[in-house]
Amino acid sequence: MDDSNIEVFNRLAEHWTAEIVSQIRQREQDGQGLGVRGIETEIRQRLRVLGAQVLSWVLSQVEGTPAATQACACGGTLQYQRKRSAEVVSIFGPVQYRRGYYAECDCGHGQAPIDEQFGLQPGAVTAGLAELLALTGIELSFAGGADWLEKFLLFRVSETTVREETERFGALQAEVDEQQCRVGQSEDDLQALQRREAPTCPRLYGSLDAAKVRIEPRKPGEKAAPEREAWRDLKLGCWFEAEPVRPAQRSARQRAKAERDQPALRATAIEYFTDIAPAEAFGQLLWGSGCQRQAERVAELIFVCDGAPWIWKLVTRYYPSAVQIVDWYHAADCLKRVALCAVSAEPQRAVWLDQVLKHLWAGEVSDVIAACQSLAARSDEARRAVGYFSENQHRMRYAHFRAHDYFIGSGTVESACKQIVAHRLKRSGAQWQLAGATQTAKARAAWLSGSWDALARQRDGLPLAA
């Protein structure tokens, strides 16, 4: 900022200071105080009005002298008509501006070049405000977000606009997902990915999970049914790398892991992907997103997931050479349920559970299966456990996995279930339509993955009516 600009701002600040001090003194005379909060709000309101005026002037003047004609998208020619007024809603509130308008093409359409250039549409929110609305919508309920934004922006934006902008960002992420899926199915695109520089990370992890979301029925038959609520699986996946945690930085849980001969690791470079879709369709997203992370080219690819059959079918289909690990905590919980259901006496239950957990920790899964089989005659839980451990025996070589310093817990994707589903989609009173739930989840996943700025840049050219 040069000296002349500093002088302008200083004069404006001096003028505002005199006015606000006068307000404070007048209120004191009237017996009403104006605290620091009130002073801050008054300054913010003035800055908001100033910002709206500057944005209005910029949009009105940036075009310069309009040309006599403009090319039309149809290939014809548009003729200059006149300057026309328009209004958009920005982060400073409603802003009016004037810009050149062109029409009289044979196709019957008209256009304002400035609107095209800056992605503006009369009556719409600007891209800058849209980003704030969407950020609020992925964190708070749409109604609560509108209330919060009013305090922050000092003007009201409707709950509907918060919802629509949040879903618009999710729709943009859906387009990214679809593009990744197309790349994953294109031989030419896959060859181009292969020509990229080889991945530098020696070890990449993947993890999949699902969580239930309540979807509001829309079909007449569903609405008339006694059970109007339909629960759908929101499938989530993540790619991540891992780094060791230094002893001085370890949490109590990480220190306990180290004491049990388990590597103290933390996930880094996490990218999430999600959808409400059948497993087959989600598998295409698993493959497409993996292509972007060059999952097939890393030295070691490891999947850590729970024992859901749909998960391992997808992993085996798309990444047959990957190391497969069933989450230790799910496996241990299965044995705890068996002990609770099949061993009635507390002392024997504790002894049985301690022994089978030792076998499981050592990767001696055949001994775990035998222990469950001994209880299968009197317990359905034990019979189910026999099938569970038999099916996943090769995924439970925990001693071998620990020796290679692998993650053996699926906490990273379970954290995604909490951050995306529990935190946002399962808020008290939340009820969703299918598209809204999917798009909100995708938008939040983009934020958690660090890819939000790319969506915001896309949104610059996609106006949405407020």
Residues 6 or more apart in contact with residue 387 via CB below 8 angstroms: none
pLDDT attached to residue 258 = 66
Joined together, the tokens standing for residue 104 give 């009289």
Distance CA 50, CA 43 (A): 10
Nearest-CA neighbor of 73 among 46, 45, 110, 98? 110
State residue 97 phi and psi, 5-degree precision: -155, 165
pLDDT attached to residue 265 = 86
Distance CA 445, CA 454 (A): 13
CA distances from 426 to 172, 229, 411, 429, 432 (A): 23, 13, 19, 8, 10
Q: Are 369 and 383 in contact (CB under 8 A)?
A: no
pLDDT attached to residue 466 = 45
Task: Indicate the pTM of the whole model.
Answer: 0.89
Nearest-CA neighbor of 334 among 283, 261, 281, 392? 392
pLDDT attached to residue 463 = 46
Residue stretches of the chain with pLDDT short of 50: 463-466
Distance CA 74, CA 55 (A): 31
pLDDT attached to residue 311 = 97
